[in-house]
Copies of this chain bind each other. A is one copy, B any other.
Amino acid sequence: MPVEGLAEVREGDDLGALIAAAVDLEDADVVVVAQKVVSKAEGRVRALEGVEPSRYARGISGERDPRQTEVILDETARIVRLRPPLLIAQTNHGFVCASAGVDASNAPRTGMVVLLPEDPDASAERIRARLQERTGRDVAVLVTDSFGRAWREGTTDVAIGAAGLRVLVDLRGRRDSTGYELHATTIAVADEIAGAAELVMGKLSRVPAAVVRGLDLTGSGKGKDLVMPPDRDLFR
């Protein structure tokens, strides 16, 4: 269910209170909130005016504004692939995504860019606490963003922050209906929920949140649990 009727989100807005006022929540609901509004409420935006791009940032910018590249590099722990202007980065949190999550679309105004939240799991936890305070319901929260993938076209929304939810369901050691033991079967349910929510949120229609109801996945997973450790990652 889309959460409709939210006004344009500004720095300092109380997202939990806004969402609580816009929907009727039930226990075990998963409230999915787009990273863009979380970042805007948290003031995680940068004006490009006054940013001084390094020589390196200018060199790898391609057609991108070099000041934006400079901001991307501030958010980057490691460059994973570079084909200017495309830059696939490992962010300071460990996520691997295009432009380290820095994006000019839906920014507060022209000449500004939006960064990922400083700590998306903490953002999710804060929104969750506020929702519970306002509604009395025991809900889970995901903070999501649209990430590209290796090998496949298009983006899908994935969870970068989580609170109150299992994010991975581990079937290893369990047996299928023929008695075969399942190996290496861990399902990233939080990412599947994020994608499901995107189907009703949309990029253009200003629906920055959705509620997914009917799942029984209460738990304590974190967005960072979804990041593959570099030593097991064959593509980083």
Please give the residue numbers on chain A whose beta carbons come within 8 Å of chain B beta carbons, in ascending order. Answer: 8, 81, 83, 86, 88, 95-96, 98, 104-110, 146, 149-158, 168, 171, 174-180, 182-189, 191-193, 195-196, 198-199, 203-204, 206, 215, 225-228, 233-236
CA distance A46 to B155 in the complex (A): 34
Q: Is the CB of B152 within 8 A of A226?
A: yes
Beyond the given A81-B235, A149-B150, A152-B158, please list 10 additional residue pairs across the A-B interface where CB-CB is below 8 A.
A95-B151, A106-B180, A150-B150, A150-B233, A150-B234, A154-B191, A156-B187, A175-B204, A192-B199, A196-B196
Q: Is the CB of B187 within 8 A of A146?
A: yes
22 A-B pairs with CB atoms under 8 Å apart are A8-B177, A81-B234, A105-B185, A106-B176, A106-B177, A107-B178, A109-B178, A110-B180, A146-B185, A151-B233, A152-B226, A153-B228, A154-B187, A154-B191, A155-B186, A155-B188, A156-B156, A176-B204, A182-B203, A187-B198, A192-B199, A193-B199
Q: Is the CB of A153 within 8 A of B168?
A: yes
Partner among B83, B183, B187 whose Cβ is within 8 Å of the Cβ of A234:
B83
CA distance A189 to B198 in the complex (A): 9
- Distance to closest chain B CB from A134 (angstroms): 26
Given the contacts A195-B191, A199-B192, A177 and B157 also touching, CB distance less than 8 Å: no
Q: Is the CB of B234 within 8 A of A171?
A: no
Q: Is the CB of B146 within 8 A of A106?
A: no
Given the contacts A88-B234, A234-B81, A204 and B174 also touching, CB distance less than 8 Å: yes
- Distance to closest chain B CB from A4 (angstroms): 14
CA distance A221 to B150 in the complex (A): 20
Q: Is the CB of A177 within 8 A of B151?
A: no
Residues of B within 8 A of A83 (CB): 234
CA distance A153 to B176 in the complex (A): 21
Residues of B within 8 A of A171 (CB): 203-204
Residues of B within 8 A of A168 (CB): 153-154
CA distance A193 to B200 in the complex (A): 11
Residues of B within 8 A of A184 (CB): 98
CA distance A154 to B193 in the complex (A): 13
